[in-house]
Homo-oligomer: A and B are copies of this chain.
């Protein structure tokens, strides 16, 4: 099973593609960011997010996606812009028939590295150590997306349906 983790934002969307190998083991197939310059209008950002997600689906044929449960404590203007990024990405997944699940970021980090409050640096360091890969191969803005994918991999593959994220 291949899981597409996504941490959406209009300027920097992190992604991580993880293959669940069973018995709680997994491997990272890809991770990175879709970066949009500050000067780009929202429509161009969304075109690039939609296109980027589509390309990654072409490359890895994920079985499902895991996204962050949006944090609602922000102000309304920020929330609308965050919602736009999430909407463009969720539309891309839905058009391609990739089912999406959401998790609280702290739940995802706890599942991936054992601590819900870990910083991006700590997540990158711990994942690199566990998987015996170079920490520089994990961009910091992709650690939340990787945590989400790993969290969903554990729950979906290890038959923990009551702990599965919210289907969105």
Chain A residues proximal to chain B, CB less than 8 Å:
41-44, 46-47, 49-51, 70, 72-77, 79-95, 99-100, 167-168
- Some 5 contacts from A to B, beta carbons below 8 A apart, are A50-B91, A70-B80, A72-B80, A73-B76, A80-B86
Q: Would A41 and B80 be within 8 Å (CB), given that A50-B91, A88-B87, A91-B87 are in contact?
A: no
Q: Would A87 and B46 be within 8 Å (CB), given that A80-B72, A80-B79, A80-B80 are in contact?
A: yes
> A26 CB to closest chain B CB, in angstroms?
24
Copies of this chain, tallied across the complex: 2
Q: Is the interface of A mostly helix, strand, loop or mixed?
A: helix
Task: Establish whether residues A83 and B92, one from each chain, have CB atoms under 8 Å apart when the complex forms.
Answer: no
Neighbour of A84 across the interface among B42, B90, B95, CB < 8 A: B90
> A75 CB to closest chain B CB, in angstroms?
7
Neighbour of A168 across the interface among B43, B75, B89, B167, CB < 8 A: B43
Task: Establish whether residues B82 and A43, one from each chain, have CB atoms under 8 Å apart when the complex forms.
Answer: no
Q: Would A94 and B46 be within 8 Å (CB), given that A76-B76, A80-B70 are in contact?
A: yes
Task: Establish whether residues A167 and B41, one from each chain, have CB atoms under 8 Å apart when the complex forms.
Answer: yes
User: Which residues of B are found within 8 Å of A167, using beta-carbon distances?
Assistant: 41
Neighbour of A100 across the interface among B43, B72, B99, CB < 8 A: B43
User: Which residues of B are found within 8 Å of A88, using beta-carbon distances?
Assistant: 87-88, 90-91
